[in-house]
Amino acid sequence: MLGHVIGEPFVRLVCVLGLYVGSVAGYLMFFLRDAVLFPPLSRRLPAPPGTVRAEQSVAAVAELSNHCRVYDVERPYREVADFIKAEFPRRGWRLVEEGAQVSAKSRAQESWASVEMVFRGPYILPWHMGVRVLAGLRDGVQTGRTTVGIDDPNWTAVSRAQYC
């Protein structure tokens, strides 16, 4: 019976086309998964309260794309970082790395503060999301808005190896 079905020219054509289309789709998803998966994942993440501007961009780098999302927030940078640490796990992301620093700028009393976080997920997917919360300080007091950048550290083989 199987020999008779496979012997039909139309069935053979459908099988060959299915193998070809499946192979091409698998190949494209493997190499373009960052461009296909990151934008919807980043759009599902909650914006911090006090967000006044949000942008999503794609920057072409080499053959791949680096995706990022940027927010300006009218809140202190520590509150924004705490919000992100609380809300991302509710969406299935797990905090795997965190670092905070304050660096001096060229002028005497000005500096900037940043909190950098890397999340893994969502749920069981081996995906990483980098988040940087950045604010300017003058004499230890925040000046201006807090800037939040969410980027895709998965877009190069080097960064993939770093976060695996």
Model pTM greater than 0.85? no
* Burial environment of residue 6 by CB neighbours within 10 A (0 to 12, 13 to 18, 19 or more): exposed
pLDDT digit string, tens, across residues 3-48: 665 667 887 788 888 888 888 877 766 666 666 666 777 777 888 8
Domain coordinates in residue numbering, the chain: 3-163
pLDDT at 50: 85
Report DSSP letters for 54-88, one per residue: EEEEEEEETTEEEEEEEEEESS-HHHHHHHHHHHH
pLDDT at 160: 41
pLDDT at 161: 43
> Do 132 and 115 contact (CB within 8 A), yes or no?
yes
> Do 149 and 57 contact (CB within 8 A), yes or no?
no
pLDDT-flagged residues of the chain (< 70): 1-7, 28-38, 54-67, 104-108, 153-164
